Amino acid sequence: MSHEVVEKNIGLLAILVILVISVGGLVEIVDTNNVKIWVRGNSHSVKVNVISGRGPQGPAGPAGNDGADGDLTDVVGDLTPQLGGDLDMNKKHIQFSPNLTSDLTASGIMVSTTVDANATGFGAALFMNSDGLGFDEADADAASTMPCRALAIESGTGTKKILLQGFARKDAWNWSVGGDIFVSTTTGALTQTAPSGTGDQVQKVGFAWSADIIYFNPDYTVVEVS
């Protein structure tokens, strides 16, 4: 069995340590990164990389992601982490954070794409252009500028991040907590008052998590006021 297999599997390492002790061997923890094993006078070193707060890690990980030997040592500090394959959720969850502590921040499912028009800035309601090549500000005045598909989480136009689902905070908002939020008849804006004019488009896009945070989860069903 190669050292690499042991180094990658802390469970296997633990079993081997127990077996070594059971046959009269010795196990020495040299430091936080190395374990040395003696069996009948022969020593074998096994490197165990320990990441603070994350437990032991083996030598796996794409080269260049931190550390000279390619170990992944700082997920939080890596602003552009990449997976080498599909992410197996192992029956667990993706957890968004509603506890946004700063103005103009968001947490959720987002993409970087083309935004063609955004005079509102952060939090603008966006619909997809009919040509499918970008997003413009939504407007509940007409069906041609609906439905809202995303929220702008960066100001301006060009390649920008947009929120498809999740939490967004804007201190300028003043929502009634728990109330539904709709696309407004003011271009790009959101409102808690459902549009009511003839021909207006009514679409719920989420609810107020707090006075300045929306949980954005748009219902693509749009009702036209007759």
Q: From CA 105, how far away is CA 130, in angstroms rounded?
A: 29
pLDDT in tens, 37-74: 454 555 555 544 544 444 444 444 444 444 444 555 56
Q: What is the mean pLDDT of the chain?
A: 81
Number of other residues whose CB lies within 10 A of the CB of residue 87:
7
The Cβ of residue 121 has, within 10 Å, a number of other Cβ atoms equal to 15
With contact defined as beta carbons under 8 Å apart, do 35 and 28 qualify? yes
The residue that leads in pLDDT, 85 or 66, is 85
CB 148 within 8 A of CB 218: yes
* Greater model confidence, 90 or 178: 178
Instruction: Dig out the tokens for 144 from the structure.
Output: 């041609």
Q: Which of 99, 101, 65 lies closest to 80, judged by CA?
A: 65
